[in-house]
Amino acid sequence: MVSQLRVVANDTDSGLSAFVVVDSLVEGRAMGGTRTTATVTLDEVAALAARMTIKLAWAGIPIGGAKAGIVCDLPAGAERDRCFGDFGRAVAPLLRGGIYLGSDQGTSHRDRDVFFAAAGYDVAGEDVLAALPCKWAQLWEHCEDVTGFGVCQAVLAAVEATVGPGEGRVVVQGFGAVGRAVASRLAAKGYAIVGVADRSGTVSHPAGLPLPDLLAATDALGNISRVNLPQNVACTRRPDAWLDLDADLLVLAAGGDAIHDGNVDRVRARLVVEGGNLAVTPSAQCTLTRRGVPVLPDYIVNVGGAAVTGLLLTGLAPPCTVVHDLVEWLYDEIGHRIRRNVRTLLAHVDPQRPLGEVGLLMGGPVKAAGGNGGPAPRR
């Protein structure tokens, strides 16, 4: 029996097709991102909303899980803005009623601001944000890479637990905000980014891609222009070519079910990280577990953006008068929580069960420790 609130918004005049699913409420509130792709479905959004509930529980943030989806593949411009404006007007009652909808795959912070404006919703009107030292949109300019930062913190925690490679070759599938941040931060730690996949195919170099050139050639939605890349960078349009690259670490930062029964035998990495939601199917996780390849689950590692929003909306962040101080606290707190959760999960490794399944059975670090409430933020 479905126990979610599911809202479908269809407008034949404007062409809007969108969904909002509220999976859980905590004190009348829920939150989640807005996924914008040409193929997003209600069932997909429902699964993501349920995942958000789990993600926030593991992060120790007292707010329920929700998710939205917009069927749209328009480039930046007036038509795209009209689509997000229509969405904002459709979901305005939900936004004003305690359901926060932010950015997600395919939805930029600018897109979010467009549908907020159309809805007449100002997040700064929330009582707990009255003392925010800057505008909401300005804060996110400082936190743009926070989800990728969290994914890297998870990798480093796995390395400390001798589960992941301390350095080596990395393939990043998906080069949106999360994928770019992961590539940049892991490269700074000595990893070689040998392959990156976007919607047009895969670019690669066995000794490591020239990351500055790659970033300069990438737009805000993660599409890489091949025109000005160095000649020694290999480019292929095969959508799954990233699976054939020799790598120690595979970061999945795009859509769901990237690894499934049909391609799991091609995975060559020693550690797989779900930088995107539901990136590895349950059966493929079982196959990788039998091969001794851990999969760090999405609900622990890619919580950064959600955690920033949740910590602020629930009043867990300390009052700050300087933006830098608030941002520094948020990154420090999120890094701490993710590293703690990875250590907690790895301490309960079961060779017969995928890590993601183990974590779901545990319910979260607080339940595993016998507690009865979310962990207090470190001050």
Instruction: Give the H or E element holding residue 10.
Output: strand 5-11
Any long-range contacts for 257-263 (C-beta under 8 Å, 24+ apart)?
Answer: 257/281, 258/173, 259/284, 259/288, 260/284, 261/287
The C-alpha atoms of residue 175 and residue 219 are separated, in whole angstroms, by: 9
* Residue 67 annotated to the active site: yes
- Distance of CA 180 to CAs 14, 306, 363, Å? 33, 18, 30
User: Helices (DSSP H) in the chain: which residue ranges?
Assistant: 42-59, 78-96, 109-119, 136-142, 146-160, 177-188, 211-216, 282-290, 298-301, 304-313, 323-346, 355-362, 365-368
Exposed, middle or buried, 5 (CB in 10 Å: 0-12/13-18/19+)? Answer: middle
Give me 171's structure tokens: 């393939």
Give me the numbers of helices (H) and strands (E) for the chain, helices first please. Answer: 13, 12
Scanning the structure block, which residue is given the tokens 């990788």? Answer: 288
Contact at 8 Å (CB) between 176 and 335? Answer: no
Contact at 8 Å (CB) between 364 and 62? Answer: no
- At 16, the amino acid letter reads L
Could you tell me the strand order of the sheet in which 234-236 lies? 234-236, 201-204, 192-198, 169-173, 249-252, 271-274, 295-296
Catalytic one among 67, 135, 189, 367? 67
Q: Determine the length of the chain.
A: 379
Pairing of strands 201-204, 271-274: unpaired
Q: For residue 315, which phi and psi values (nearest 5 degrees)?
A: 75, 20
The C-alpha atoms of residue 216 and residue 223 are separated, in whole angstroms, by: 11
Active-site positions? 67
